């Protein structure tokens, strides 16, 4: 074998060795990358599941604690003799985040009252200013809020309340028409013959605005929705997680 | 990769090149910090995060739900990947796409005259009473973050990156594309 040939074979061997090394290295990289990607997707999936679980609404029992309208226009839902803890709900029928709270924790709030674990006080208010969306948003909110005040409590009030959130219009389109409001009231079980006139005449509009101004001033709200437990604001992280909200209310009763 | 000597050499270009890995590292960390903060503040209230997405009126309800639930955890995970420097380039590209999507979303909300809060760091997309949306500032911020994403996706992961430790970036050939590993070195002995 000539020197050239020997050199050539050595070179070939080195080349093959290098090739092999490179292949192994490549495989190792691929395995590592795939493993990292799988773990990443796993964590994303777990986080997703966790988020979805945490905001799953409770089953509504269907039964409701007695509902009455207090002198200041707020609506109290509590079993007789249950005076604490007090869970206050500040909401605007036109506010999308309030609808989200209703959908998420609304059943929990009702259940807590039904079980006698809390005295629930609703403060339906109008929070939107006149200059927003040329007054459309405020108009929607005001019609709905005034109509709700035409119902003197009871289960119909709660059903009407729920229906308003279910039918909430977009913030920039006129909705909550007076005819609809009357019809929804009837569907909710309002039998008072004066209800229609009260809604179409917007008889409670002034009272609603006055109450809104007073509540906004007194409660020092940062926005709606706001939940307060015995006067202390409940964090959104709790308010929008039914299980945690329940726990917090139960703890406050101790 | 260049060996960075303890004393930086006086040659300007060399110094610039040796600083590059730190530039990517800092870009990674800044981008990661913002992503993690944004994701963390949203993940506790996915319902509000869905609301914020819906406030843009760009996606149908079902898709808004997917984004609302998925985005916070995606932001956190991508942020963590950027911090540790794992799958850095992919993470950089995802951040780029996210920032691009945010810029488009905010610009379109602005163009349509919507008055919303961007919902970037939590909240349901509703402006507080009396607050004015600051679209321009938000767009500029996200454009800056987009640029950081480009840096991270374009250049090697830089210092303090798991990718390098695990040998996921072939040391010498950092500027080579993945595919063309076959040709180099072969003729070097001649």
> By CB neighbour count within 10 A (0-12 exposed, 13-18 middle, 19+ buried), where does B188 fall?
exposed
Q: How many domains does chain B have?
A: 1
Q: Look up the domain containing B36 and give its range.
A: 22-165
- Predicted confidence (pLDDT) per residue in A53-79, tens digit: 888 899 888 889 999 999 888 999 999
> Are A120 and A232 in a shared domain?
yes
- A69 pairs with which residues across the strands? A75
Q: Does A4 touch chain B (CB under 8 A)?
A: no
Cross-strand partners of A124: A91
Kindly state whether residues A13 and A110 are assigned to the same domain.
Answer: no
Mean pLDDT of A230-250: 93
Whether A108 and A21 share a structural domain: no
Q: What angle do CA A125, A126, A128 make, to 5 degrees?
A: 150
Q: Which residue of A has its CA nearest to B125?
A: A97
How is residue A136 written in tokens? 């459309």
Contact by Cβ (8 Å): A176, A199: no
- pLDDT per residue over B98-142, tens digit each? 999 999 999 999 998 888 888 888 777 767 666 778 899 999 999
In a domain, B14, yes or no: no
Please check whether residue A18 touches B, CB under 8 A: yes
Supply the pLDDT for residue B128. 65
ipTM of the complex: 0.76
Q: How confident is the model at residue B55 (pLDDT cuts 50, 70, 90)?
A: confident
Q: Is B46 on the interface with A (CB under 8 A)?
A: yes
Do A210 and A94 fall into the same domain?
yes
B35 touches chain A (CB under 8 A): no
Q: How far is CA A248 from CA A50, A88, A107, A205, A235, in A?
A: 19, 13, 16, 35, 11
Please return the burial class of B23, using the count of CB atoms within 10 Å of its CB with bins 0-12, 13-18 and 19+: middle
Mean pLDDT in chain B?
81
Cβ-Cβ contacts under 8 Å, A237 against chain B:
44-45
Across the interface, whether the CB atoms of B115 and A127 are under 8 A apart is answered no
Residues of chain A with Cβ-Cβ distance to B124 below 8 Å are 96-97, 100
The span from the CA of B86 to the CA of A36, in Å, is 8
- Which residue among B81, B129, B181 places its CB closest to the CB of A129? B129
End of a domain among A54, A81, A98?
Answer: A54
CB–CB contact B43 A55 (8 Å): no
For a pLDDT cut of 90, what percent of chain A falls above it?
72
Least confident of A36-50, A146-160, B53-67, B116-130: B116-130
- The verdict on a CB contact (< 8 Å) between B46 and A132 is no
């Amino acid at each position: 074998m000539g020197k050239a040939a020997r050199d050539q074979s050595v070179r070939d061997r080195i080349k093959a060795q290098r090739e092999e090394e490179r292949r192994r290295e490549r495989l190792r990289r691929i395995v590592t990358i795939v493993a990292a990607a799988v773990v990443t997707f796993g964590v994303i999936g777990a986080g997703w599941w966790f988020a979805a679980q945490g905001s799953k609404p409770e089953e509504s029992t269907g039964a409701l604690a007695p509902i009455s309208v207090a002198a200041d226009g707020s609506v109290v839902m509590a079993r007789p003799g249950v005076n604490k803890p007090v869970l206050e709900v500040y909401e605007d029928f036109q506010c999308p985040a309030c609808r989200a709270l209703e959908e998420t924790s609304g059943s929990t709030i009702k259940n807590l009252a039904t079980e006698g674990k809390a005295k629930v006080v609703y403060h339906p208010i109008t929070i939107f200013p006149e200059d927003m969306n040329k007054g459309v948003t405020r108009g929607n909110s005001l019609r709905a809020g005034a109509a709700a005040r035409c119902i003197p409590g009871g289960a119909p009030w709660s059903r009407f309340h729920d229906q308003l959130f279910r039918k909430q219009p977009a913030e920039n389109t006129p909705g909550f028409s007076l005819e609809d409001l009357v019809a929804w009231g009837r569907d909710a079980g309002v039998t008072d013959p004066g209800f229609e006139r009260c809604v179409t005449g917007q008889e409670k509009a002034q009272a609603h605005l006055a109450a809104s101004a007073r509540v906004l001033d007194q409660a020092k709200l940062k926005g709606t929705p706001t939940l307060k437990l015995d006067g202390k604001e409940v964090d959104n992280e709790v308010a929008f997680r039914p299980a945690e909200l329940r726990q917090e209310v139960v703890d406050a009763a101790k | 990769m260049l060996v960075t000597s303890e004393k930086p050499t006086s040659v300007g270009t060399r110094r610039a090149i040796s600083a590059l890995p730190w530039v990517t590292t800092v870009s990674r960390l800044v981008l990661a910090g913002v992503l993690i903060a944004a994701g963390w503040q949203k993940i506790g209230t996915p319902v509000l995060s869905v609301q914020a997405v819906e406030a843009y009126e760009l996606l149908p309800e079902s898709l808004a739900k997917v984004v609302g639930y998925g985005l916070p955890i995606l932001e956190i995970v991508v942020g963590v990947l950027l911090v540790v420097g794992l799958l850095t380039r992919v993470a950089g590209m995802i951040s780029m796409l996210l920032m691009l999507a945010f810029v488009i979303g905010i610009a379109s909300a602005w163009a349509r005259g919507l008055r919303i809060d961007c919902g970037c760091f939590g909240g349901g997309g509703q402006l507080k009473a009396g607050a004015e949306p600051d679209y321009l500032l938000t767009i500029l911020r996200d454009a800056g973050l987009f640029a950081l994403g480009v840096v991270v996706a374009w250049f090697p992961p830089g210092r303090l990156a798991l990718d390098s430790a695990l040998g996921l970036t072939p040391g010498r050939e950092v500027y080579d594309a993945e595919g063309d590993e076959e040709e180099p070195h072969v003729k070097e002995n001649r």
